Amino acid sequence: MKHFIVVGVLVIIVAALVSMGLGSIQLMPTQASAQAVPIDNLFGMHVKVISFLFSLIVVFLVYSIVVFRRKKGEEGDGDHFEGHTGLEIAWTIAPLATVLYFSYLGAQALAETRRADPQAMQVNVIGSQWSWRFEYPELGIVSDELRLPANRQVLLKLSSIDVIHSFWVPEFRVKQDALPGANMVKELRITPTLIGDYKVRCAELCGLQHAYMESPVIVMEPAGFDAWVIRQTALPTDPVDRGALWAKQFGCVACHSTDGATIVGPTWQGLSGKQETLTDGTTVTVDADFLHTAIVSPDAQVPQGFAPGIMPKNFGDTLSAEQINDIIAYIESLK
Ligand SMILES: [Cu+2]
């Protein structure tokens, strides 16, 4: 009995120390959304239970090794007892009750992260190899960065135009896959609470440039957000400037450089007017018609040294005729 009291006290002391130690090293990134609160609370409780289980096992182990060492000349089995119904009932009921209680807490936290605010602002998030596009249908804005006003819930509708991507901002905690297919739109609700600059990362391996599939996420004062909305809704008058904007917003720049470097597709620098050799051996002069075909049906004329099937094939549907003309004007300006 004396041993059990000593071990019991030691277990409590070690559990408290381990739990305090884990609590002080900041396991989680900054907490920047309302949805992060129930998740972090649940995580904190798990850390406490884990600390207790750890010390329960380790203290018994170390205590036995030190105190019940075999003495010189000792040959027997040592003191022990066989079978103990009370103990067996206890170590069945206690973990079962703990696990059931945690499943209840988990369900509660899940419900809380999904609570819908009817005032939520909708943003369509479209993943593509290898960039993010953010559409604000109520505001008529398309952007390559996600700007959000603080303390207002945003309803993200996630989709993909090619393969599976995954929307993840660690500071917001919640994460959701973006799937291809017309009926596969997934929803995620976030209420940013802390003004600052974050990053959305793709959390699903999605090809060559997956590691660079990051976009800025900026949580702003509501007034600053409104000013941004006004700036965004005024479009540049020069087609070249508009073309540069579309190329950024529709993710062309993830694969095409404007400075001569080859990323995944050919660079756009000096493309217009160039003699292009295609994979079938023919040579053509790159003009506006060639560029138009290259954008709406990429595999029709594949330049030598590049593979077909990489560039998305649906830009003819997602871009308007004016937007395509703007992009062509932009490419033609890149001498
Ligand atoms: Cu991705």
CATH number of the domain at 260, please: 1.10.760.10
What domain range is 224 assigned to? 121-233
**Residues 219, 139 within the same domain:** yes
Q: Give the Å distance between the CA of 145 and the centre of ligand 1.
A: 15
Q: Give the Å distance between the CA of 14 and the centre of ligand 1.
A: 43
Residue-averaged pLDDT of the chain: 92
What is the band of 3 on the pLDDT scale with cuts at 50, 70, 90?
confident
**Residues 305, 326 within the same domain:** yes
Q: Give the Å distance between the CA of 213 and the centre of ligand 1.
A: 6
Closest CA to 157 of 192, 130, 133: 133
Amino acid identity for residue 264 in this structure:
V
Q: Give the Å distance between the CA of 175 and the centre of ligand 1.
A: 13
Q: What is the DSSP code string of 36-47?
A: HHHHHHHHHHHH
Instruction: Give the total residue count for the chain.
Output: 335
Mean pLDDT across 114-138: 93
How many percent of the chain have pLDDT more than 70? Answer: 100
Collapsing DSSP to helix, strand or coil, 285 comes out as strand
Q: Give the Å distance between the CA of 201 and the centre of ligand 1.
A: 8
324, part of any domain: yes
Q: Give the Å distance between the CA of 101 and the centre of ligand 1.
A: 36
Q: Give the Å distance between the CA of 176 and the centre of ligand 1.
A: 12
Mean pLDDT across 1-5: 87
79, part of any domain: no
CATH number of the domain at 224, please: 2.60.40.420
Q: What is the DSSP code string of 172-218?
A: G--EEEE-BSTT--EEEEE-B-S-EEEEEEE-S--STTGGG-EEEEE
**Residues 225, 253 within the same domain:** no
Say if residues 203 and 166 touch (Cβ distance below 8 Å): yes
Q: Give the Å distance between the CA of 130 and the centre of ligand 1.
A: 6
Q: pLDDT tens across 9-45, in order?
A: 999 999 999 999 988 888 889 999 999 999 999 999 9
**Residues 223, 262 within the same domain:** no
pLDDT of residue 235: 81
Those residues whose C-beta lies under 8 Å from the C-beta of residue 196, and which sit 6 or more positions away, are 30, 32, 171, 218, 219
pLDDT of residue 63: 92
The domain tally of the chain equals 3
**Residues 103, 32 within the same domain:** yes
Q: pLDDT tens across 67-104, in order?
A: 888 888 888 887 788 889 999 999 999 999 999 999 99
**Residues 148, 228 within the same domain:** yes
**Residues 227, 261 within the same domain:** no
How many percent of the chain have pLDDT more than 90? Answer: 80
266, part of any domain: yes
Q: Give the Å distance between the CA of 200 and the centre of ligand 1.
A: 11
State the greatest distance between any 2 C-alpha atoms of the chain, in Å, as a whole number: 97
Q: Give the Å distance between the CA of 174 and the centre of ligand 1.
A: 17
**Residues 145, 60 within the same domain:** no
Mean pLDDT across 188-204: 96
Those residues whose C-beta lies under 8 Å from the C-beta of residue 294, and which sit 6 or more positions away, are 300, 301
Say if residues 33 and 172 touch (Cβ distance below 8 Å): yes
| Residue where a domain stops, chosen among 176, 209, 233 | 233
Q: pLDDT tens across 228-261, in order?
A: 998 888 888 899 999 999 998 899 999 999 999 9
78, part of any domain: no
